[in-house]
Amino acid sequence: MIYTVTFNPAIDYVVAMDDFRLGATNRASREEYYFGGKGINVSIILKHLGIESVALGFVSGFTGQALENGLKAEGLETDFIKLDNGFTRINVKVKGEQETEINGQGPDISKEAVDELFAKLDNLTSDDMLIVSGSVPSSMDEDIYEKILKRMDERGVTVTVDATGKLLMNVLKYHPFLIKPNDQELADMLGKPMETTEDIIRGAEDLRNMGGRNVLISRGAKGACLVTEDGQNLTIDAIPGKAVNTVGAGDSMVAGFIAGYMKTGDYSYALKLGNAAGAATACSPGLATGEEIERKMDI
């Protein structure tokens, strides 16, 4: 089974306005909401591609209940830890001539709640995969990724990590199956510019030599690069289309890659499906459907 972890999930409230005026009463021309968080996004795309998973994480209050109910209505299996304080955050995204975002803080996560998460993770075996992604809330220990990766390494669990900076660099010693920084994040981590495809490949090889088994680098309009544990250096062009939403595109790429690899065991196909899933979400108002991803595969 695949398990995803989202430390700080959210309900994204998207409001479109033809003429947003600061300090005045504004009326929306369109409004939508999405249940989000990086791990949750991965679980949703996996579901759309026919792969089951269990979404783990922390929820609280009436918004947490709404998020959990919404995900279950979409057919997702969840096993969230319910916190006694606060409420699951709401992120407001105002779309006008310019896009403005207000991200909520979310509830504090106690040591007891983290221990409860560890207890759930300790039930995983070498037959399972864990996908850990996203930032760490201020109420949690900064080394939470390392603690999780160490426990999973001891149990032989296959782990995918979608994080950046020290969060990622500090867990490479545990040899995660897949890591997916973008090109700018790769440059920041290695402290040198990544201007060409050759630069990206060399940078990805550096991360693989540090411990990442497979290193997938998303490059936006320039496509993606993949360095694999069996010595392949693969590149793929971006799929044409009008981008309307970049939120969740990277998570969709991770989910598509994992789904493709699980179905075929072929890294080239996994890269192609990951690229299609990322592009499909970028061209959709929310996370892409399975049909939208399949159409991108045919381009």
Active site residues: 251
Q: Give the type of residue at 270.
A: A
91: enclosing H helix or E strand = strand 89-95
Provide φ and ψ at 281, rounded to 5°: -65, -40
C-alpha span between 228 and 226 (Å, rounded) = 6
Contact 101, 91 (CB under 8 A): yes
Question: Residue holding tokens 């979409």?
Answer: 74
Radius of gyration of the chain (CA): 19
C-alpha span between 34 and 141 (Å, rounded) = 28
C-alpha span between 260 and 271 (Å, rounded) = 8
Residues constituting the chain:
299
Q: Give the type of residue at 164.
A: T
